[in-house]
Amino acid sequence: MTNSPSNRATVADDRIYLTNRLQALLKHYSPQALSWAGELGSLQAIDFLARWPRLEAIQKASPEEVRDFYRSHGCRLRAKLPERLAEISAARTADHRPGRPHRFTHNAPGAARTTTRSDRGH
C-alpha cells in the first residue's frame, strides 16, 4: 500500500463507515453498550467489546474488574462507578427470550467481511 492521499482518504472513509455501522448495530442490539464502551473507534471501546461481547459477560464481571478496566483506559469514574455498575446489573437485552445469548456485536453472515468503497456506492 502506498501512502498516497487517495489511500489515506480511503482508509479514513472506511473508518468512518465502519464506526457508523458499529454505532447503528449497537443502537439496535444494545444501546447501553454505546455509553459503557466509550467513543467508538477508540482503544477503550474496542477493548470493551472484545472483553465483554455479551451483556451477560459484563454482568458476570466483578465491580473491581469493571473499575480496573476503566482505570486502565484512563477513565476516572469514581463518583459515577456505582451508577454505572447499577446500570450494568439492571440492563436487559433487546431479545429477552430465555436461553438466547445476546452479543453486543452483530454476527450476521458477511458482517465481518472486508468492505470496499464500491459496497457503499462510491
pLDDT per residue as tens digits for the range 2-40: 677 778 888 889 989 999 999 999 888 888 999 999 999
Mean pLDDT, residues 69-96: 87
- What is the rounded CA–CA span in Å between residue 112 and residue 77? 33
Break the chain into its structural domains and give their ranges. Answer: 5-100
Distance CA 52, CA 15 (A): 22
pTM, rounded to two decimals: 0.68
- The pLDDT tens digits for 48-64 are 999 999 899 999 999 99
Number of H helices, E strands in the chain: 6, 0
* Region 70-99 average pLDDT: 83
Cα separation, 58 vs 3, in Å, equals 40
Residue with cell 502506498: 2
Q: What SS3 class is residue 72? A: helix
